[in-house]
Amino acid sequence: MPYYRDRDKLSEMLAKHGTLAAVSRATGVSERTLGIWTKRLDLPLVPAIVQNTDAGLDHMLDMARDFLDRSKESVTIESLADAMDVSPRRAREVIGRLQEEGFRVDEDENQPGTVRLNKLPPASVNVTRLRISGDEITLGIVSDTHIGSREQALDELHTTYAEFEARGIDTVLHAGDLVAGVGIYRGQVANGLLPGMHTYKEQVDYAVEVYPRISGMTTYIIAGNHDIEGEAGRIGADPVQAVCHRRRDFVYCGAYHGSVELPNGAHATMVHGRGGGGYAISYKPQRYIEGLPPGRKPALLIHGHYHVAGWFEHRSVPSLLAGCFEWQTDLLVRLGLQPAVGAWVVKLRLGDDGSVVGIVPEWIKYHQGRVVEPALAA
């Protein structure tokens, strides 16, 4: 007889894993089937838990997320608290923790005291002001680091940040795909990820731990498709937001696109594209530029996602293809694409009228298997 038809065995599985969704993931039995037998056997949907341990907190987070995931509309704090068998105050604390972990749990402005799990990324973002000043500034540009991928170029990424530090650069722009993600393409879990990088939480914890951390240096970052699609998209989470909550040297600038304000009021915009590249590497970025209204052209446009490097100007918009920090994956082999692993150093001379009057880009290129030492400070 299947375990879920036995009251004691099903109760034991619920006590071990905490929620129907967790039992389903562990055993392969659909959550719907488990729910039917839970009701038939008169078992509580979610058990009471110990609240004063890390395991208890993790359990509560899973319970709250699963309850919000099953709820198609906004739910009251009281109903969430009842489902978790905790006080409304504790339920609010759990909501705050979920938000810190990168889950888009939003309060409904039209219904005070209600919340919902939003699985769609925000449609727009505010402009983020850079923490730098001066008429001439230098930015480090990186993208598509894919932390957790079997082909991550982590040593090269650390060398790049050391290079930035040696040059006195304290501001880095990251054009998305911080982590490798889960369920982004067929075969990724089996062939594309490092061991132990098969869940959202594992990749967030790993990124927090291994991403370069240099005192006084800030990384301004947007989320890309590997960050907020696949498994993360299905559970309404954003690993980039989660990392930004846990790393003071990260600043979140939006999903898929975000702008930073330069000291003179000009904007540098980061965009994470979609789909494959065109017949020419500049084709997709050019199409994006052609869709910009005249009054919203940035002084610098940075394109992530395509894993190629390039520099061009179109419709008076200086544009940069940001490259990546992931070596050729099985997917890229099948597509016949070779990534450009490296970073940019961009010097900008700013005008008093909110324009950029001088741009000097420099591409730092890496070759697989070759060790590149960071430059010494002058």
Tens of pLDDT, residue by residue over 236-287, are 999 999 999 999 999 999 999 999 999 999 999 999 998 776 566 777 888 8
Tell me the residue range of the domain where 315 lies: 128-365
Domain final residue pick, 86, 117, 148 = 117
One domain for residues 112 and 137: no
One domain for residues 39 and 161: no
pLDDT band at 52 (very low <50, low <70, confident <90, very high): very low
pLDDT of residue 24: 75
* For residue 376, pLDDT beyond 60: no
User: Tens of pLDDT along 143-172?
Assistant: 999 999 999 999 999 999 999 999 999 999
> Which CATH number goes with the domain that contains 56?
1.10.10.10
Domain final residue pick, 92, 117, 142 = 117
pLDDT of residue 282: 75
* For residue 113, pLDDT beyond 70: yes
One domain for residues 89 and 182: no
Continuous segment of H or E residues that includes residue 75: strand 75-76
Tell me if 322 is assigned to some domain.
yes
One domain for residues 50 and 198: no
One domain for residues 157 and 72: no
One domain for residues 207 and 312: yes
- Per the model's pLDDT, the better-predicted residue between 377 and 182 turns out to be 182
Q: How many domains does the chain divide into? A: 2
3-state secondary structure 116-176: EECCCCCCCCCCEECCCCCCEEEEEEECCCCECECCECHHHHHHHHHHHHHCCCCEEEECC
Mean pLDDT over each residue of the chain, to the nearest integer: 87
pLDDT of residue 46: 46
Q: What is the CA radius of gyration of the chain?
A: 23
* For residue 343, pLDDT beyond 70: yes
Stretch 74-81: mean pLDDT, rounded? 92
Stretch 197-219: mean pLDDT, rounded? 96
pLDDT of residue 44: 63
pLDDT of residue 368: 86
Tell me if 123 is assigned to some domain.
no
- Per the model's pLDDT, the better-predicted residue between 194 and 331 turns out to be 194
pLDDT band at 128 (very low <50, low <70, confident <90, very high): very high
One domain for residues 140 and 101: no
One domain for residues 198 and 269: yes
Q: Is 375 helix (H, G, I), strand (E, B) or coil?
A: coil
* For residue 307, pLDDT beyond 70: yes
User: Tens of pLDDT along 277-291?
Assistant: 656 677 788 888 888
* For residue 346, pLDDT beyond 90: yes
- Per the model's pLDDT, the better-predicted residue between 338 and 279 turns out to be 338
Tell me if 374 is assigned to some domain.
no
One domain for residues 108 and 136: no
Q: Percent of the chain scored above 70 by pLDDT?
A: 90
Task: Determine which of 297-301, 360-364, 372-376 has the lowest per-residue pLDDT on average.
Answer: 372-376
One domain for residues 177 and 94: no
Among 292, 329, 289, smallest CA distance to 307 is for 329
> Which CATH number goes with the domain that contains 185?
3.60.21.10
Domain final residue pick, 117, 143, 163 = 117
Tell me if 375 is assigned to some domain.
no
pLDDT of residue 285: 80
- Per the model's pLDDT, the better-predicted residue between 293 and 184 turns out to be 184
Question: What is the spatial distance between Cα 136 and Cα 324, in angstroms, rounded to a whole number?
Answer: 26
Residue listed under structure tokens 């198609």 = 72
One domain for residues 87 and 187: no
Stretch 175-198: mean pLDDT, rounded? 92
One domain for residues 219 and 332: yes
Question: What is the spatial distance between Cα 99 and Cα 122, in angstroms, rounded to a whole number?
Answer: 14
